[in-house]
């Protein structure tokens, strides 16, 4: 069944990392709790029971601003790959998450930390060849804020549930580049 994109009252996705999407059961529950309001409807997705029949929204907006953690992003392997656009920071090639690994610019054995500022995406070959040596990555690692990371996310392939999501997939003037609409 279909997912619903959840927007905040300013008509921005509630989250990009990952995209704020709920399944239809959650969507119906939030509608009954009066937490969200439909913005766009799926043309032919109806929820029906003996007591009700309603059209499932493809996009819905929340009534209240709830507290999203915009501005701060916690370090994670996946988000670091997003920051680096899945590009090995030594050879410059693009890889899948499976083919990438975390490289500590200052090696762990020299006290290098696992952090935004000391870690870059590296393919396994480069990581092996680098070992405990100090190599200069193509882009110096940095701690991104939510918006910088969301903008990077939009440069990567993104799967959307319905074409009505497209106008909302933007951050700071950047729009989604490589959209795939789930059939």
From the CB of 107, what's the least distance to Zn ion, in Å? 17
From the CB of 67, what's the least distance to Zn ion, in Å? 39
User: Taking CB under 5 A as the rule, does residue 95 contact Zn ion?
Assistant: no
User: Taking CB under 5 A as the rule, does residue 90 contact Zn ion?
Assistant: yes
Q: Which window, 21-29, 36-44, 126-134, 140-148, contacts Zn ion (CB under 5 A)? A: 126-134
103: which strand partners? Answer: 120
From the CB of 130, what's the least distance to Zn ion, in Å? 9
Q: Count interface residues toward Zn ion (CB under 5 A).
A: 5
Spatial neighbors of 22 by CB under 8 A, at least 6 apart, are 3, 4, 6, 30
Q: Where are the beta strands (DSSP E) in 8-84?
A: 21-22, 36-48, 53-62
Cβ nearer to Zn ion, comparing 17 with 123: 123
Q: Which long-range contacts (CB under 8 A, 24 or more apart) does 67-70 make?
A: 68/8, 68/14, 68/15, 69/146, 70/146, 70/147
Binding site for Zn ion (CB under 5 A): 88, 90-91, 123, 126
């Amino acid at each position: 069944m279909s997912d619903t994109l959840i927007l905040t009252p300013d008509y921005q996705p509630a989250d990009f990392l990952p995209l704020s999407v709920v399944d239809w059961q959650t969507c119906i529950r939030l509608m009954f709790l009066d937490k969200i309001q439909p913005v766009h409807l799926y043309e032919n997705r109806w929820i029906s029971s003996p007591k009700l029949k309603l059209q499932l929204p493809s996009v819905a907006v929340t009534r209240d601003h709830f507290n999203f953690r915009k501005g701060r992003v916690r370090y994670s392997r996946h988000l670091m790959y997003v920051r680096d656009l899945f590009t090995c920071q030594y050879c410059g090639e693009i890889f899948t998450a499976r083919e990438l690994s975390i490289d500590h610019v200052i090696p762990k054995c020299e006290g290098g930390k696992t952090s935004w500022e000391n870690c870059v995406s590296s393919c396994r070959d480069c990581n092996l060849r680098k070992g405990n040596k100090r190599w200069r990555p193509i882009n110096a690692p940095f701690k991104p804020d939510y918006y910088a990371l969301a903008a990077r996310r939009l440069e990567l392939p993104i799967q959307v549930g319905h074409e009505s999501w497209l106008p909302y997939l933007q951050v700071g003037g950047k729009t989604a580049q490589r959209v795939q609409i789930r059939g």
